[in-house]
Amino acid sequence: MRVTKVEKIQYDTPVPVYDVINAIPYHNFIIHGNSNYISHNCAVMDEINFSQAGVKDVNKAKAHMRETYNTISARVKGTFKHGGEVFGKLFAVSSKRSDSDFMESYVQEQLAAGAGDHMMITDAPQWEVLPPETFSKEKFYIAVGDRHHRGFVIPDNQCFPEALDDLKQQGYTILTPPVDMRSDFLADFEIALRDLAGIANVGALSFITQESLTLCINKNRRNPFYNDILQIGVHDAYTIEEFFHEDAVLPEFKHTSIYIHLDLSLNGDRTGISGCGITNRKDVTGKDGSRVSLPFLTHMFSVAIEAPRGDKIPYSKILAFICWLRDRGYDIPIVSRDQFQSEYIGQQLEQEGFDSPKISLDRTPDGYIALRDILIDQRVDMLDSTLLQDELVHLQRDSVTGKVDHPVGGGKDLADSFAGCIWDAILQNPGTSIPIQSIGPAILGVNKSNRSNHYGNSVMSTLASMYKR
């Protein structure tokens, strides 16, 4: 069927619609009315964010929904086009769960691509969509946050204009739901925000929260790689180490072991590289009240390598960078790697004297579970990497398989490399190295008598002379 004429039709009385069918073999969408069939140019996909019924892997379900959407869109564009203009309409309808839902991600992709001129987005809270008489006329205030600010119900004594303006300046959005919904927001703010206000929670299904990351990020330190992503390929003359600013590295990294993990790719995805070390220990109180000393880690660097168009990820340059770090005096006992495309570089690393075990962050969730526990205990001093935070906060764990993965269209190359180097360090768990100059003062602090101080000074001098040797 081809469109030869387009006319606007207006009925004086509504036309009942009982069914929408797919007319095979041409797959035209037909509305079945009272007495005849009317060819129509509309397709409706309802609850597209909840298509995973019967599918264990949510991400596979979302990928399937994207494929279905693209197939229907292609048919509408191919069938209902006339004079270069598409008269077909595709309605994608769904409730929300998180900001990484299929529909939320798709809308953002289209807007970022400049395709918003042919889209009509209807997104409003229930109290603006339903008839006014549905709810009470009395309102209350809520503050809607973001990934860095947790939303909350504003107390009645803080609803004056100056206080509300102060919240807006802090980055909050102020909404006024009907007072009928107050109990819902007080009971579970995030659920009410999603179901009643229609606002997708940032990282609502996240395995790792932004709050846990923020508490561990050190704003006073800088990543030695000033850019999160480096475009370096096989055929250019760039090296990775020329982008590494060693003056940003803490001096204690010269006195501790550095653990590096490579999340490798070939040309399509990015390759993530991260390094960390155990620099201290922290006493953590368990649920039973007991205290245990656990490793404290410091994040050394993270960077994503992206091949230029038509080029490949330069494995030889990655190897050269790691060897360069060792030549600069850093002790690197382990450079782990994932399963994908890793055998060749693993052999090269072992020939250079590095231990290079395979660690998969995809097959088992152990590495990410350990990372989350460390973040909750605040046992890591993290660098402020925007890309790393974005990947971590959007990670989701499948409740059936236990797998931790990124949403469809997202990535976790840098997140895998960071979790991998942390997991390397935890598995090795070496003793924290103590600079020999600090042993003498520690001995002096134990005994405060004059005789002991004299002895302590002698010990400190002896140890210092040994260190100079």
User: DSSP of 372-383, one letter per residue?
Assistant: HHHHHTT-EEB-
Torsion of CA 180, 183, 188, 193, to 10 degrees: 20
Residue 457 tokens, joined: 């000074």
What is the C-alpha to C-alpha distance for residues 384 and 377, in angstroms, rounded to an integer?
A: 18
Using alpha carbons, select from 53, 9, 56, 50 the residue that is nearest to residue 33. Answer: 9
278 contact partners, CB below 8 Å, separation of at least 6: 256, 257, 295, 296, 297, 298, 425, 429, 430, 432
> 79-105, pLDDT tens digit by residue?
777 777 777 778 777 766 555 566 777
Peptide linkage before 295 cis (omega within 30 of 0): no
Cis peptide before 25 (omega within 30 of 0): yes
**pLDDT above 60 for 454:** no
Tell which residue, 208, 199, 212, 214, has the closest CA to residue 99. Answer: 199
> Is there a contact between 290 and 337 (Cβ–Cβ < 8 Å)?
no
- Please report the pLDDT score of residue 56 as a whole number: 40
Among the listed residues 200, 171, 172, the one whose alpha carbon sits nearest the alpha carbon of residue 105: 200
Contact (CB, 8 A) for 271 and 255 = no
CB atoms within 10 A of CB 321: 21
Residue 334: which pLDDT band, with cuts at 50, 70 and 90?
very high
Q: Indicate the CATH number for domain 210-428.
A: 3.30.420.240
Three-state DSSP state, 408: coil
Q: What is the pLDDT of residue 356?
A: 93
Please tell me the distance from the alpha carbon of residue 13 to that of residue 16, in angstroms, as a whole number: 9
Residues across the chain: 469
pLDDT tens string 430-450 = 655 555 556 666 666 665 545
Residues 166-189 have pLDDT tens digits of 999 988 899 999 999 999 999 888
Closest to 413 measured CA to CA, from 249, 248, 266, 197: 266
- pLDDT for 128 beyond 50: yes
Please give the Cα distance from 68 to 61 (Å, whole number): 10
Backbone angles phi, psi at 18, to 5 degrees: -105, -25
At residue 49, does pLDDT exceed 70? no
Q: Residue 81 corresponds to which amino acid?
A: K
| Cβ 225 vs Cβ 303: under 8 Å | yes
Q: Which of 116-120, 127-131, 274-278, 307-311 has the lowest mean pLDDT?
A: 116-120
Could you tell me what percent of the chain has a pLDDT over 70?
72
Q: What percent of the chain has pLDDT over 90?
A: 39
